[in-house]
Structure 1
Amino acid sequence: MIKMNKTLLNTVTFLLLMIFSACAGAEYGSKTADSSMPFDRTIQPTEGRLPNLALPAIQNFSLSNGLEVKLVEHHELPLVDIRLVIKSGSFVDPAGKAGTASFTADMLDEGTTTRDAFEIADAKDYVGARLGSGSGWDGSFVTLSTLKKHLNTSMEIFADISLNPTFPTKDMEKIRERRLTRILQRKDRPITLAALAFAELVYGDSHPYGTPINGTEESMKSITQSDLKNYYSTYYKSNNATLIVVGDVTESEMLPILEKHFGSWESGMIPETMNYDVPEISETAFYLVDKPDAAQSYLYFGHNSISRASEDYINSVVLNMILGGQFSARLNLNLREDKGYTYGARTSFSARKSGGSFSARASVKTDVTDSSIVEFLYELRRIRSEHVTLEELEHAKKSIVQRLPLTFETPSQIAGIIGSQLLNDLPDDYYSTYGEKIQAVTMQDVMATAQKLIDPEHMTLVISGDIAQVKEGIESLNEGSVNIVGGETMPE
């Protein structure tokens, strides 16, 4: 009876609150709404003023073993984010063992000299901490997010998986099966097939960028426990790493904690990173990846391009925003808004430490594959031959600058940006002048950069779709040779 009365009371209370809220809302609406001035949705809202971005100061210091630390005080919430950045990633995977770096990172929390995977999970869950690990092309990382009051306990777990992994065989096979499943799944996704084919065709199978960062089915099956241990012992060294700390702490608070857990981490000789040649594209050519009965074709066009530290990078950001970097960009307005060929068309410069790529992409209806290619090439050529309008230029620059503060909101975001700067050899104050540099880009800069970085006449054009329906139409365009590629990425 008591339980029923409590339930009835809660229900009545909830209903009364709903009624009160509705009445309050109606009263507020009656005071503020002006029915004589209807809102005109055909008029685009005016752009606001550019925000003033006050970037946090980065404090630099080192532990007794030389391990570098970058700290940012962020006292809004009692949280601390820590990121251990290893300055080696998938770019230095052993030959024939693509995926070694990411596999190594995946295994860090699967067992240490004092804990197994379940004990690690229980320990972090007990204090509500979040641990993560992974690897990109140019670096690997271990992350921790914790409440400040649990910092000491969380740091002990974080240091344990970072410094004492054992790569247990049983857990390794479990992770291997999971990774192989993901590799097999990508064969069913036209988007992924096109991206993989594009990478290998542009860079070649001997270049690290030409193979998937998570490896292939063949390489994943060949990686041994010794491979993981060798990668870890070679690259996870104090002189090849930096600790990034962002949160409700100061240098004086963190120094003894970091010294306790990382101060005795040994340094070592790090192998010199190899340089790789990128094959030249002699002429534009099409490469078709067959997905029978596909309702759409996925287009992935482009070529190799600049590194993140390139002097052309700032100009390329503005250029890309105008061409295909946002909904109102030229490519999307043409293919989606005007022609109705796609839900979205985009371009990007994927700038990494050792170079990158330019790409233009879209999923289009199968029966307009050839027509979509015509519009892609039209926009790529137009951006090189005609100056963008002043309106396009100013809108793009404002869009870039106005979005910038959103990337510095949380400790995790700040730590990630500092890590990216570190891996790309960018200075600590890089973003202090970023907005000014974006604002300084001119129409002439955009055209000159387009002419330098986008070349439709020497481009790799990958189409993943139903070859039987699209091949003839593509050939009739006479824009380049048409080739068939099969399997995961290999030409037939």
Structure 2
Amino acid sequence: MRRRLLALSTLAVLTASACRTAPAPVPEASTPAPSPEPGPAPAADAESFRDTPPQPGKPPELVLPTFQRAELDNGLTVLVSTRRELPLVYVGLSFAVGGAGDPAGKWGLADLTYKTMLEGAGGKDTLALDQAFQNLGVSPSVSVSSDGATLGVRVLARNTEAALALLTDVTRRPALAPKDFERRKTLQLAELVRALGSPGFLAQQAFLRTVFGPTHPYGHSVSGLPSTVQAVTAKDVRAFHEAHVGPRTTALVLTGDITLEQAVALARKSFGDWKGKAVLPPVPPAPPVPARTQVVFVPKPGLDQTVVLLGRPGIAASNPEESALELATTVFGGFFGSRLNMNLREDKGYSYGANASADGRLGVGPVTASSSVRADVTGAALQEFFRELEGVRERPITAKELESAREGLIQSFPGSFESVEGLGLSASALFTLRLPMNEYARTVEGLREATPPEVQRVAEAYLAPGSMQVVLVGDPDTVKKQVEGLGLGQWTVEDPTQTPKPRR
């Protein structure tokens, strides 16, 4: 339309020039010509917005929960975090002895003990106890780690005292009947048979004994092995409960629609007269950090992928370098854009994903880097693992990498506290790891204040290639020929399903 109007205008000018003596025609109407309609913008203009990405809005202010602590005369700890939004309360008991307290040859005893405690208590058998919890609309959960255990339920606030009465019986008066123990033991063995079919579980078993040693409290998984669980008796379970469950090793955890004053009153009613000889266990000793001399291989014929697990002893949860190490491992392999993941997944296509982490425990926990890679590129993937480890020193962590890790870690904190159960488990961790009530605020402050030189120093110290042990699980015919020539150490075949003999 615009082009046609321009042509007609040009023709009128030419006609006027050729006939200057002719009178000008009188227009029929004085209505002005319509304005030309705008045409479509050029393609470049329509896409120009892509040159400037949208700016993120201001992140919401981080608000951390407040944890309060009290102690009864008998030593029982009471932990509370009040949240009034909903009439819900998490009622839990946290215990200070976990899998690290398993005696030699009977790994899995702690796990089996805490689960058997829910098989009848306070004069109720398994069915009656289960029905009592169901009458409150809940089912108790149990979680056992190396450093402790937690039993708990989420209930309506009006059912807090009733739920606590049941959990008090479970804690103080468990039946631990032989028939209930045998049923729970049978379930535990069945679960282990299933777990031992998992390459990841096999890698974890082999890794713990390689890094910590078979006699160290952290040298085995909490669930144990079939041979060690088979050795556990009902008498062992009763002895473990008597030795390790008592007021000085237990915390009552109440979070949600409840105050510290209310919690202390409930604690006195349920546990005020409780006596027991249990005491807090010693902190597990720090293991040595030797140079790598071997590649530990767990054969599993027919696997299309190889589990690659590298690691070494790291730090304890109370170590002042914890925040810096968390940032360093996050940059290395802790999120999608990390160096290890971008290399193995995005650049090479060897894996669906790779990760790294630092597990701070009551004692020194492990630093790990892992991935499941295509079996046919196991050797090449291992080379990339070590190329990235060497790159920590050769290519120092950039300010952009550090800020991405810092923001991601800090902004993820609210996810741990979004429910009353999350609050309860967070409080339980404070108890089992023996941390102060303001630990989460201190952690965030540490993440915010960690400087690039500090993070770089810690990264070089704990991600040094020579101290990272190597564990592989995969097809022997495919993997061995790829790895033996890499110079990573002696090829050592191990069967993590068997109880290892103590090292001399």
What's the counterpart of residue 134 of structure 2? Answer: 125
Displacement of 1:174 after TM fit? Answer: 1.3
Displacement of 1:394 after TM fit? Answer: 1.0
Cα separation, partners in 2 of 1:48 and 1:282, compared to 1, 3 Å? same
Q: Which amino acid aligns with 1:88?
A: V
Q: Please list, as runs of the form range in 1=range in 2, the aligned pairs for 1:35-434 lying within 5 A after superposition.
A: 46-270=55-279, 272-273=281-282, 275-276=284-285, 278-434=287-443
Q: Is the 8 A contact 1:283 1:458 kept in 2?
A: yes
User: C-alpha distance in 2, partners of 1:398/1:84?
Assistant: 33
Cα separation, partners in 2 of 1:253 and 1:170, compared to 1, 3 Å? same
Cα separation, partners in 2 of 1:416 and 1:185, compared to 1, 3 Å? same
Cα separation, partners in 2 of 1:461 and 1:483, compared to 1, 3 Å? same
Q: Which amino acid aligns with 2:187?
A: R
Cα separation, partners in 2 of 1:264 and 1:38, compared to 1, 3 Å? farther
SS in 1 for 2:320: coil
The superposition leaves residues 118-174 of structure 1 with CA deviations (integer Å, 9 ceiling, x where unpaired) of 111111111213312232111122212110122222221121111110111112111
User: C-alpha distance in 2, partners of 1:466/1:356?
Assistant: 29
TM-score by length of 1: 0.88
User: C-alpha distance in 1, partners of 2:393/2:349?
Assistant: 24
Q: Which amino acid aligns with 1:312?
A: E
What's the counterpart of residue 35 of structure 2? Answer: none
Displacement of 1:488 after TM fit? Answer: 2.1
Cα separation, partners in 2 of 1:176 and 1:42, compared to 1, 3 Å? farther
What's the counterpart of residue 30 of structure 1? Answer: none
User: C-alpha distance in 1, partners of 2:201/2:49?
Assistant: 42
Q: Is the 8 A contact 1:51 1:402 kept in 2?
A: no
Displacement of 1:210 after TM fit? Answer: 1.3
Q: Which amino acid aligns with 1:289?
A: V
What's the counterpart of residue 16 of structure 1? Answer: none
User: C-alpha distance in 2, partners of 1:426/1:261?
Assistant: 25
SS in 2 for 1:355: coil
The superposition leaves residues 280-310 of structure 1 with CA deviations (integer Å, 9 ceiling, x where unpaired) of 4233421111111211111011111111111
User: C-alpha distance in 2, partners of 1:463/1:75?
Assistant: 49
Cα separation, partners in 2 of 1:377 and 1:45, compared to 1, 3 Å? farther
User: C-alpha distance in 1, partners of 2:404/2:496?
Assistant: 43
SS in 2 for 1:476: helix
**Is residue 480 of structure 2 the alignment partner of residue 471 of structure 1?**
yes
User: C-alpha distance in 1, partners of 2:260/2:484?
Assistant: 64
Q: Which amino acid aligns with 2:207?
A: F
User: C-alpha distance in 1, partners of 2:432/2:144?
Assistant: 12
Q: Is the 8 A contact 2:284 2:362 kept in 1?
A: no
Q: Which amino acid aligns with 1:320?
A: T
Unmatched runs of 5 consecutive residues or more in structure 2: 1-44
Displacement of 1:271 after TM fit? Answer: 6.9
- Bigger Cα Rg: 2
Displacement of 1:374 after TM fit? Answer: 0.7
User: C-alpha distance in 2, partners of 1:190/1:256?
Assistant: 49
Cα separation, partners in 2 of 1:315 and 1:420, compared to 1, 3 Å? same
Identity %: 28
SS in 2 for 1:209: coil
Q: Is the 8 A contact 1:370 1:473 kept in 2?
A: yes
Q: Which amino acid aligns with 1:57?
A: T
1:482 aligned to which of 469, 483, 491:
491
Q: Is the 8 A contact 1:323 1:329 kept in 2?
A: yes
Cα separation, partners in 2 of 1:278 and 1:328, compared to 1, 3 Å? same
Q: Which amino acid aligns with 2:366?
A: S
SS in 2 for 1:347: strand
Cα separation, partners in 2 of 1:120 and 1:42, compared to 1, 3 Å? farther
Q: Which amino acid aligns with 1:476?
A: G
TM-score by length of 2: 0.86
Displacement of 1:317 after TM fit? Answer: 0.9
User: C-alpha distance in 2, partners of 1:41/1:210?
Assistant: 53
User: C-alpha distance in 1, partners of 2:170/2:79?
Assistant: 21
User: C-alpha distance in 2, partners of 1:267/1:165?
Assistant: 14
User: C-alpha distance in 2, partners of 1:457/1:273?
Assistant: 31
Q: Which amino acid aligns with 1:473?
A: Q
SS in 1 for 2:424: helix
RMSD (Å) for aligned C-alpha atoms: 2.3
Q: Which amino acid aligns with 1:396?
A: A
Displacement of 1:66 after TM fit? Answer: 3.6
